[in-house]
Amino acid sequence: MTTVLKLGGSLVTDKERRETLDDDALSAATDAVADAVGGGAPADLALVHGAGSFGHHYAEKHGVSVTEGTTDAGAALEIHGSMTTLNRFVLARLHDCDVPALPVHPLSAGARDAEATLELPIQTVRTMLGEGFVPVSHGDVIAHAGSGTTIISGDEVVVRFATGLDADRVGLCSTVDGVYDADGAVIDRIDSFADVADALGGSDATDVTGGMAGKVRTLLDLDAPAYVFGADDLPAFLAGGEPGTRID
């Protein structure tokens, strides 16, 4: 059983304060991962975290996004540095509770070509899993042919891991309990974008990082079922449950 789990940036950081963790939320999440890994399930777990109050601030400062690049190495390094700092914090918490976590930095591993197609080799992650490690990757900057460097979101890393590893399950754990309908209730299951387009308030095909519409669209394309759920449901997800909204 291979599981790819994203811990949302808004969950593990304090979005209101620059480069500040949400200590309680991060500890609760890493404790849940430790319990699951210690208990032997899921067998293979690859983690990804978002940027929260770390990377987004510097991406905005330098005007860099998934489509707008920079050739300024200092700017790229500042964005990347904030993400590796956050990654170190996440790794440290995981090691504190004996999870054999190792970092995977997209900047050092992948690139986009001139058509913006992402190349992110999966062999490192596969070998880490095979050796019993828990790879922990993150949103980052990435070299982009013709644009210098652009942002790669944690969601893009999740999708690449899920397809490359032929994952059985994907989880997006964040500050929302699932995908909400127009009345604010959590939708149980989504298997067609058309059914929820109105409730999600948009169907912009270019919206791959921000917004639930883009997330749902991307997750519908995966072979594996994906679950969008809140922090309280993380233990249930890791135990094989189906919390929040199932998208497949």
Stretch 133-152 residues interacting with ligand IP8 (CB under 6 A): 139-140, 151
Residue 82 CB, nearest distance to ligand IP8 (Å)? Answer: 7
**Per rule CB under 6 A, is residue 214 in the interface with ligand IP8?**
no
Taking CB under 6 A as the criterion, the residue among 21, 46, 51, 179 binding ligand IP8 is: 51
3-state secondary structure of 126: helix
Helix residue ranges per DSSP H, the chain: 9-12, 23-38, 52-61, 73-96, 106-109, 123-130, 154-164, 193-200, 212-220, 234-238
- Count of residues binding ligand IP8 (CB under 6 A)? 15
Binding mask 183-202 for ligand IP8 (x = CB under 6 A): --------------------
**Per rule CB under 6 A, is residue 110 in the interface with ligand IP8?**
no
Q: Which residues pair with 137 in a beta bridge?
A: 48
What secondary structure letter does DSSP report for 185?
P
Residue of 210, 228, 230 lying closest to 220 (CA atoms): 228
Considering only 39-47, 55-63, 98-106, 117-125, which stretch makes contact with ligand IP8 by CB under 6 A? 55-63
Our CB check for ligand IP8 shows the closer of 20 and 127 to be 20
Buried residues in 52-79 as b, exposed as e (16+ CB within 10 A): bbbbbbbbeebebebeebbeeeebbebb
Binding mask 66-105 for ligand IP8 (x = CB under 6 A): -------------x---x----------------------
CB 84 within 8 A of CB 105: yes
- With a CB cutoff of 8 Å and minimum separation 6, the contacts of 95 are 101
Taking CB under 6 A as the criterion, the residue among 174, 209, 218, 245 binding ligand IP8 is: 209
Helices (H) and strands (E) in the chain, counts: 10, 12
Extract the annotated binding site for substrate: 51, 56, 154
Point out which residues bind ligand IP8 (CB under 6 A): 9, 50-51, 55-56, 59, 79, 83, 139-140, 151, 153-155, 209
